[in-house]
Amino acid sequence: MTSPARPEPAAALREIIPAGGRWSGRLESGDRLRITDLEGQQAVDFLCYGADMPLDRMNLPNTIKLNRSLYVTKGSRIYSDHARLLFTVEEDSCGYHDTLAGCCSNESNRLRYDVTSTASCRSNFIAELAKWGLGPSEIVSNINFFMRVPFKEDGEVVIAHGISKPGDQVVLKAEQPVIAVLSNCPQEHNPAAGGKPTPIAVEVIRAAAA
């Protein structure tokens, strides 16, 4: 499959993504993506795809198996369906990040909280993926940076209050050309975003400038 249509690569950039907002971008090998939780306890839903073979997407079962951990943290590697290395987590000031809970959606919010027509990470993903010629079927299980989902021995899981502090950040190194997609979670019905979504900062540091 040929690469999807995409905007021209930008120089190193920094953007503030508002509460409930979204972002996507292409990174080349060696580029870094820095995500900063500006006010603390703000979940950031994350997807990534091989830029030259976008149907080879982030695969969390492979990522969990090959890292031997249900959590993502410093030193973790993010793998694709074909077990190709997409990203390495170079820095992490928070501690660990969720791979279990996936993204919120209007449909799941209706079932869980009896609310309708809510903003959601799934809607954000759909809008951003469209920029790259990808559709809703390309949404896979995602990583939730700065989100805490503890689990018990009997398998019970719960979305708990996050442990990230204002200014906590993760830095991801692209190990091949990739498309990264972020949703700054708009969830207001559980503690994923501290009960009140807040802005984040996103920075792309080009390898040539690193």
Q: Give the pLDDT confidence score for residue 112 in this predicted structure.
A: 93
Q: Is residue 173 part of a domain?
A: yes
From the list 113, 102, 83, 109, the residue with the least C-alpha distance to 176 is 83
Q: What pLDDT, on a 0 to 100 scale, did the predictor assign at position 209?
A: 60
- The answer to whether position 126 is within a domain reads yes
Count of residues for the chain?
210
- Residue 136's pLDDT is what? 97
What is the rounded CA–CA span in Å between residue 12 and residue 98?
28
pTM as predicted:
0.92
Q: Is 125 a domain residue?
A: yes
Q: For residue 7, is it within any domain? A: no
Q: Is 1 part of any domain?
A: no
CA–CA–CA angle 147, 29, 82 (5° rounding): 70
Q: Is residue 47 part of a domain?
A: yes
8 assigned to some structural domain: no
Distance between CA atoms of residues 16 and 19, nearest Å: 9
pLDDT at 1: 45
CA distance 192 to 54: 28
**Cβ of 112: how many Cβ atoms within 10 Å?**
11
CA nearest neighbour of 88 among 74, 103, 100, 99: 74
Q: What is the pLDDT of residue 36?
A: 98
Handedness of CA 203, 40, 159, 18 (dihedral sign): negative
Q: Which of 53, 77, 60, 58 is nearest to 3 (CA)?
A: 53
Our count of domains for the chain comes to 1
User: Among residues 201, 45, 202, which one has the least CA distance to residue 123?
Assistant: 45
H or E stretch covering 66: helix 60-67
> 179 lies in which domain range?
13-209
Tokens standing for 125? 């993903």
Half-sphere exposure of 30 (CA within 13 A, CB side): 5
Task: Return phi, psi of residue 144, to 5°.
Answer: -110, 95
Give a yes or no: residue 21 inside a domain.
yes
Mean pLDDT per 10-residue run, the chain (210 residues)?
A: 48 89 97 98 98 94 97 98 98 96 95 90 98 96 96 90 96 98 96 94 86
Helices (H), 68-172: 106-113, 121-130
